[in-house]
Amino acid sequence: MSTGLFPASAPYRPRITAIGSYTPERRLTNAELERLVETNDEWIVQRTGIRERRICAPEESTGTLAIRAVQNLVERYGSALDDVDLLIVATSTPDFAFPATACLVQAHFGIPHTLAYDLSAACAGFVHGLHTASGMIASGLHRKALVIGADALSKITDYTDRTTCILFGDAAGAVLVERDEARDAESSLLAYTAGTDGRGGPHLYRAVTAVSWTDGEPVPAGGKLMQNGREVYRFAVQTVPRASAELLEAAGLSPADVDWFIPHSANLRIIESACEKLGIPLEKTLHTIEDYGNTSAATIPLALDEGVRAGLLKDGDRLLLFGFGGGLVYGGLLLKWKELQPRV
């Protein structure tokens, strides 16, 4: 595990200056799932908290979700993109093995000069992308970054498997991270934590070309998302509160100092367990699990944007973002929020 403070000696201060999101129009309700697999609304809600999820139209993909989230950002904040010099798309469902989904976004918006690549860290992808972009800007290597979390999980979900098909949906969220040129600027990134336990890879995966794990153990299925829900749940309920507490301790803060907790929306029961162990009231949590399900790398920016739209986030609020997922990987960021200025 790697945990630390944002270095006070860093030459520049990154901060989030704009946000956008997109969810497909098609809703897949629990009642509809009852007609596909042996399940029911009460069972799904009790175990996950999910009531419905959004599903891509046939012509939609991760690339179109990402583009529409960025378009939403531009329309709301009037942000120019022609000087973006870093573009990261966190996704587990790229449209192509290559080119990267980030290249599709770059082409659509005609961004002339930018480093563009995809980041594969499953449901922790957006946090890792934001971590990376903030570090790049703080060091002076880049000035302006687009960080996007986008996944079209319906494309890789087996709708005959009731243990997974009830969980997943499609969405995208995007933030613009810029160098703050003000002389007295504070970094929005206060502290971070990240870790990996690759031994848990067989608990949550999608095989593309592999026929066996590196230790020779055969991969039992390919193409669709596979999950051992019990083991992933165990990893999450142990890791999220422990690593979050260590992150806060590194920053000299307590859970009471957190204004908003924004965990990955994998399962409401995981969020409730983490809140209870951390001592953070559920009412101080932003999540999207009930209406959108698990949208992987999109859950955290989607929840963040819902908080912005609702006027919940105020200048100086401390936000604790925490993602976890396939790898098994996790990442947490402690941010100091600066209120955004939408275009009038």
Active site annotation includes 123 = yes
- d(Cα 185, Cα 183) in Å, to the nearest integer? 6
Pick the catalytic residue from 30, 72, 267, 294: 294
Active site annotation includes 228 = no
- d(Cα 109, Cα 111) in Å, to the nearest integer? 6
Residue 67, CB-side half-sphere exposure with 13 Å CA sphere: 17
> Pick from 188, 281, 270, 191: which is nearest to 229 by CA?
270
Helices (H), 49-91: 62-77
Beta-carbon contacts of residue 230 (< 8 Å; ≥ 6 apart):
none
Active site annotation includes 294 = yes
Pick the catalytic residue from 131, 203, 264, 287: 264
Write phi, then psi, for 301 (nearest 5 degrees).
-65, -30
Strands (E) in 121-184, as ranges, are 144-152, 170-180
Q: Helix, strand, or coil here: 56?
A: coil
Pick the catalytic residue from 56, 123, 165, 275: 123
Amino acid at the residue 224? K
Active site residues: 123, 264, 294
